[in-house]
Amino acid sequence: MQPVSRSEEAAWSWLSLQPEVAALLDLAEAGEEEKAKDQLAQVVKTILFPEPRIEPPTKFRRVEPASEDAPLQIDKAARCVCIVFSGMRGAGKTTLCTLLQKVMGGVHLHYDEIISGSERGTYQKVFRRALLRALTEKLKRTSARRSQGSDPAAEELQDRSMGETPDKLAMRVAYVDRTNILKNQREDITAVLQRLQWKKRDCRTLLVDFRHSTDVFGHGADGQFSKRFGKSHIALCTDRIEGRGVAHHALRPSAKLPHVLQKEACAAQPLSPEELQHVDSQLTLDVADSPVQNTLTVVEELKRLGWLTLAMDPRALALKVELEWQVYNKAQAAWRLQASDGKERHEWLEQCRQAAQEQKAAGEAAEAIRQAKRATWRFDIPEVRQVLMEKSILPSGFETASHTMVDLLTLPDENEGAAKEKLEAMIDALEALHGESLEVRMTKIFISETTACALVALPPVLADMGKVPHVFLGKRRGATAASIEELLKEAEDGKVTCIPVQDPRPMTGRVVLESGP
């Protein structure tokens, strides 16, 4: 193999950083090497020998704003956007993430939910894996969108002029919901962004920081001079946590809560210059503002940066956010109400456990019957026999049937070819209806030379595994009764008398289980 020259190595390094090439390399790493190989040559050719195209009428370029109100413009829209939230517990991060997700779609990475159920000591590994998986999925979905042959510049221009649909936004946005007030917390995010080469793939990171108007500068526990969380800030977060009660996955109100928040506030560490290199823009929100106002502020900031555009009128957007906030509030209130009374909840859980145990015991008993004996489920209609005894319905020479029952299911010999799920569902339904009284109606009566039979309409709750619901009324003495299939066939040929029952009256029957050896 010939050694690679320095110029060739530099060329390959440059090519690997191009978004289209990087997307195909991701595709190859995901196991689809053949598909990536087929497209790579064409993509490299397009990059090295681009066709002349008409530039959009408006060029977007990065400029530093002269003031806070000045618009900030960048070269092009972001491929993906990672919004990292930083603030004390109780600042409103989860609420804001939920509202933004309702408006723009995207994935909500809630730290407390991600590590829930994990062993202590594995939290960092579990969180990093979840973040890496979510952002990798964003890159794959956006690379698939770009590989469909569309012109990225034209697509971007269309998105800017008409606004992006929620489906497009959902593919590109991720919300990282964690306090992130400590350096080691932020390092977890930075490590994942560096591994994915987030910036080099035209992706952007926005840091949203929660502050209070009364926060002042001071020295932290690390000795650095920075803006610190003030007393009013900590008190507001404490009140919110106490107000939401048990409606949270991890932090609940307690006598130690003010001390815990005070300790966290003192331990907070500001962003270092090295960390700021991985952040494309910062936005500071007032923790005292309403969630609706903060949601609209974040959306407007993303539009101002030019990373995302939302296909929604500002008034309609404000109305949607307000409605979503009301829905969220009601859900939180229902959560608090459901979990507030521990005694009732414990009793309810105990009842559920007992019901589950009883259901399990009944299922085991039924299974024992199925395994040891022949079990037949039938629907007994005693009124039919009473009618047969009182009225002369059967022809001369016919014997009345010994029982008037509709066969529903026979185990274990019958229905061996039936789908297991369907069979189990029917058995469960029959067990639940065992002994119950239900109404049926007789629809037709068939009388042949040897057999008299009636079709019945069963209630919808009684499944019959595709059988024709029927009850035998009687047969000629000394003759063998014909099956229902034979009677239906002879009825089609006109060899059997068929008597439709006009305005049939309802008859009461019940589900019974007969077992035999």
Could you read off the pLDDT of 238-261 as tens digits, one per residue?
A: 888 887 765 455 566 677 888 888
Mean pLDDT of the chain: 78
Instruction: Say which residues have a Cβ less than 8 Å from residue 245's Cβ, sequence separation at least 6.
Output: 252, 253, 336, 339, 340
Which is higher by pLDDT, 513 or 132?
132
CA dist 285 and 65 (Å) reads 19
CA separation (Å) from 199 to 43, 80, 119, 184, 205? Answer: 21, 10, 33, 21, 8
Based on its alpha-carbon atoms, the radius of gyration of the chain, rounded to whole angstroms, reads 36
User: What's 30's DSSP letter?
Assistant: T
Tokens of 205: 């990171």
Tokens of 502: 């006009």
Residue 369 pLDDT > 70, yes or no? no
Residue 115 pLDDT > 80, yes or no? yes
Mean pLDDT of 194-199: 92
Q: For residue 383, is it left (φ>0), alpha (ψ between -120 and 50) or beta?
A: alpha
* 13-17, 154-158, 491-495: the lowest-pLDDT one: 154-158
Tokens of 175: 């919300």
Residue 245 φ/ψ, nearest 5 degrees:
65, -125
Q: What is the pLDDT of residue 58?
A: 37
Highest mean pLDDT among 30-39, 44-53, 355-364: 30-39
Highest mean pLDDT among 23-27, 266-270, 369-373, 458-462: 266-270
Q: What is the pLDDT of residue 397?
A: 84
Q: Under a CB-based contact definition with an 8 Å cutoff, are residues 153 and 53 in contact? A: yes
Instruction: Read off the pLDDT of residues 455-502 as tens digits, 9 standing for 90 and up.
Output: 888 887 776 556 788 888 888 888 888 888 888 888 888 888 888 888
Note the residue count of the chain.
517
Mean pLDDT of 49-66: 42
Residue 218 pLDDT > 90, yes or no? no
Q: What is the pLDDT of residue 81?
A: 94
Residue 49 pLDDT > 70, yes or no? no
Q: What is the pLDDT of residue 70?
A: 44
Q: What is the pLDDT of residue 253?
A: 61
The residues facing 511 across adjacent strands are: 379, 434
Q: What is the pLDDT of residue 437?
A: 84
> Residue 402: exposed, middle, or buried by beta-carbon count in 10 A (0-12, 13-18, 19+)?
exposed
Residue 68: pLDDT band with limits 50, 70, 90: very low
Mean pLDDT of 369-394: 73
Residue 405: pLDDT band with limits 50, 70, 90: confident
Q: What is the pLDDT of residue 236?
A: 92
Three state DSSP letters for 453-486: EEEEECCCCCCCCCCCCEEEEEEECCCCCCCHHH
Q: Under a CB-based contact definition with an 8 Å cutoff, are residues 253 and 245 in contact? A: yes
CA dist 74 and 302 (Å) reads 12
> Residue 4: exposed, middle, or buried by beta-carbon count in 10 A (0-12, 13-18, 19+)?
exposed
The residues facing 441 across adjacent strands are: 457
Mean pLDDT of 299-326: 86
Residue 184 φ/ψ, nearest 5 degrees:
-65, -25
Which is higher by pLDDT, 108 or 425?
108
* 3-17, 311-325, 446-460, 478-492: the lowest-pLDDT one: 3-17
Number of Cβ within 10 Å of residue 477's Cβ equals 9
Residue 301 pLDDT > 90, yes or no? yes
Q: What is the pLDDT of residue 75?
A: 45
Q: How many CA atoms within 13 Å lie on the side-chain side of 43?
A: 23
Which is higher by pLDDT, 503 or 389?
503
User: Which CATH architecture fits 81-328?
Assistant: 3-Layer(aba) Sandwich (3.40)
Which is higher by pLDDT, 384 or 420?
384
Mean pLDDT of 58-78: 46
Q: What is the pLDDT of residue 69?
A: 47
Predicted structure pTM score: 0.52
Tokens of 440: 């049926």
Q: What is the pLDDT of residue 346?
A: 59
Q: Under a CB-based contact definition with an 8 Å cutoff, are residues 509 and 382 in contact? A: yes
Residue 191 pLDDT > 90, yes or no? yes
The residues facing 516 across adjacent strands are: 374
Q: Under a CB-based contact definition with an 8 Å cutoff, are residues 406 and 456 in contact? A: yes
Handedness of CA 58, 150, 169, 47 (dihedral sign): negative
Number of Cβ within 10 Å of residue 501's Cβ equals 14
Tokens of 13: 């390094």
Mean pLDDT of 5-34: 70
CA dist 29 and 37 (Å) reads 12
Mean pLDDT of 438-450: 87
Tokens of 302: 């993303």
CATH number of 373-516: 3.90.1740.10
Q: What is the pLDDT of residue 67?
A: 44
Q: What is the pLDDT of residue 190?
A: 94
Residue with tokens 């608090």: 336
Which is higher by pLDDT, 341 or 479?
479
DSSP E strand boundaries for 129-198? 173-177
Task: Report helix, strand or coil for 506.
Answer: coil
Residue 124 pLDDT > 60, yes or no? yes
Tokens of 203: 């992706």
Q: What is the pLDDT of residue 8?
A: 64
Which is higher by pLDDT, 501 or 63?
501
